[in-house]
Chains A and B, each alone.
Chain A
Amino acid sequence: MWRDAVLVAGKDLRIEARSRVATNQVAPFALLVLVLFAFALDPDRGVLTRAAAGLFWVAVLLCALLAVQRAQTVEAGEGTADALRLSGLDPAGIFLGKAGAVAVQLLVLEVLLGLGLVVLYGVDLAGYPVLAATALAATLGLAAAGTLYGALASGSRVRETLLPLLLLPAVAPVLIAATRASEAALGTGGLDVAPGDWLALLGVFSVVYVAAGTVAFGPLMEEQ
């Protein structure tokens, strides 16, 4: 299963590296979102710095939607789904591989967005061990949930509009928990917020969705 996962993740990441969709389109989009937030919230009033954690995770969510759709589009080509099914790869491995590839792309984007926060919003990246742990746990959950809902919505003509409706309410706990944990690390949370509980919630979310995806991906692949 793990070998298959590494194979699938390697394949997806190679496709992304060669097609350059992630670097040429998704990454500029992410930075553009940061700029749009600055237009919407007056940047001189300190609002951006205070809201940086939340804006960061909203931007990550939007990018996750794009990354998941991209991961599904790669498999939507003529006969690709059949080829994947006939390849003899473990469906659980395929799920873990696709989720892993999305997670790697999101982590790279998060580093980029983090730099954007420092440069554009004047955020001081204090408490980075907590930030890194938050990013890791939240990204794992986002990638797993995204890949699972992406598979649920795939194969329909309305998948571009269906995926956000399915995914966004489901990942609401990730947005809340990751934002609060990041605020605690950055010291912008106002009150004393313990990041430990939020990290635990992110961890539980990731475990639930990784487990659900590992079990459910097989039946989902058979149907199409």
Chain B
Amino acid sequence: MTIATSTSDLGAAAPATGGSGAAPAGRGGGGPLTLSLGLAAVLALGATVGLGLTLPATVEQGEYSRLIAIHPGLAWASYVAVGVTALASALWLWPRSRSLRWDQVAGASAEIGVVFTALTLATGSIWGRPTWGVWWVWDARLTLSALMLALYLGYLALRRVPAPPDVRARRSALTALLAVAVVPLNHFAVTWWRTLHQGRSLAQLDPGNDLDGAFIGAMLLGFLAMTLVYAWLLVHRVRVARLEDEVEEAGLVRAIEERRREAVTA
């Protein structure tokens, strides 16, 4: 019950700490390092958008070829996010490096990973509709991304189950490592499934052979921009997760004190 009351305080408490300005750097708000990371991320993202919009429209794909500036970068960042979640979970499970910080990093990274995976699928579909004529094809890579999204949605749902922090951390870390173990199994299943029944539908669309230099440049800049955006979001999300835990603990202490006072007056 106390957990429920304290989480409802979160919305009010977290921004209040951030906006007061009196809080030390890195706790209430970001430090100068975080700020420069954020500036770099925004600049790189702006440059990617700018370069992407100045790309020439191609014959086959028309205006939609511009998506190459963001789509591969988003997919890359989602893989990085999932990898960081696995690493942080392993570090939490390893007794010598066990710290609640790793749990917060794992959760934060998985959240951003889910957003980036969803964006990857969305941009892919937006590109696929005019180019392939359908929103979705049962290609191995698409199916694998969709399964990954479902796996990590489950992971995030498990994290939301109210539990003491170390219990939650243990469950989440085990689930994250299991999810990583499933990815290669899913990969084999999906690849054999699709290649046994039909040829790779993407093979003829493989852009590697006649890709223009400007497109490669936009794509690489997209990789950099998405990685920076991911890192920036991760730093802030971990900070908010720490504040959430603190608020929850403070709410618990306050609730216990109130009950005590009631007992004294009664």
Contacts and interface: CB of A to CB of B under 8 A. Distances in A.
A197 B154 contact: no
Given A197-B192, A220-B171, A162 B179 contact: no
Interface residues of B, number: 30
A176 B187 CA distance: 11
Interface string A178-200: 00100000000011010001100
Interface stretch (A23-31, A58-66, A152-160): A152-160
Contacts of A170: 151, 154, 178-179, 182
Interface in B161-183: 161-163, 166-167, 170-171, 174-175, 178-179, 181-182
B157 interface: yes
A168 B193 CA distance: 18
Contact of A152 (B150, B175, B197): B175
B266 interface: no
B153 interface: yes
A156 B174 contact: no
A177 interface: yes
B158 A193 contact: no
Chain A, interface SS category:
helix
Contact of A180 (B150, B154, B181, B193): B193
Nearest to B167: A223
Given A148-B178, A166-B175, A201-B185, A176 B158 contact: no
Contact of A162 (B151, B161, B167, B189): B161
Given A153-B158, A156-B161, A172 B186 contact: yes
A152 B158 contact: yes
A32 interface: no
A53 to B, nearest CB: 13
Chain A interface: which size bin? 20 to 34
A153 B167 CA distance: 12
Nearest to A211: B181
A169 interface: yes
Contact of A212 (B153, B181, B188): B181
Contacts of B163: 155-156
B119 to A, nearest CB: 19
B157 A173 contact: no
Interface in A191-224: 191, 193, 197-198, 201, 204-205, 208, 212, 216, 219-220, 223-224
A165 interface: yes
A79 to B, nearest CB: 19
Contacts of A158: 157, 161
Nearest to B153: A165
A200 to B, nearest CB: 9
A173 B189 contact: yes
B170 A223 contact: yes
Interface string B230-256: 000000000000000000000000000
Nearest to A215: B174
B150 A168 contact: yes
Given A152-B175, A168-B150, A170-B151, A191 B157 contact: no
Contacts of A176: 189-190, 193
Given A173-B189, A180-B192, 7 more contacts: A148-B178, A158-B161, A162-B157, A172-B186, A173-B188, A201-B185, A216-B174
Interface of B: 147, 150-151, 153-155, 157-158, 161-163, 166-167, 170-171, 174-175, 178-179, 181-182, 185-186, 188-190, 192-193, 196-197
User: What are the 4 tightest A-B residue pairs by CB atom distance, in nearest-first order?
Assistant: A173-B189, A169-B150, A156-B161, A176-B189
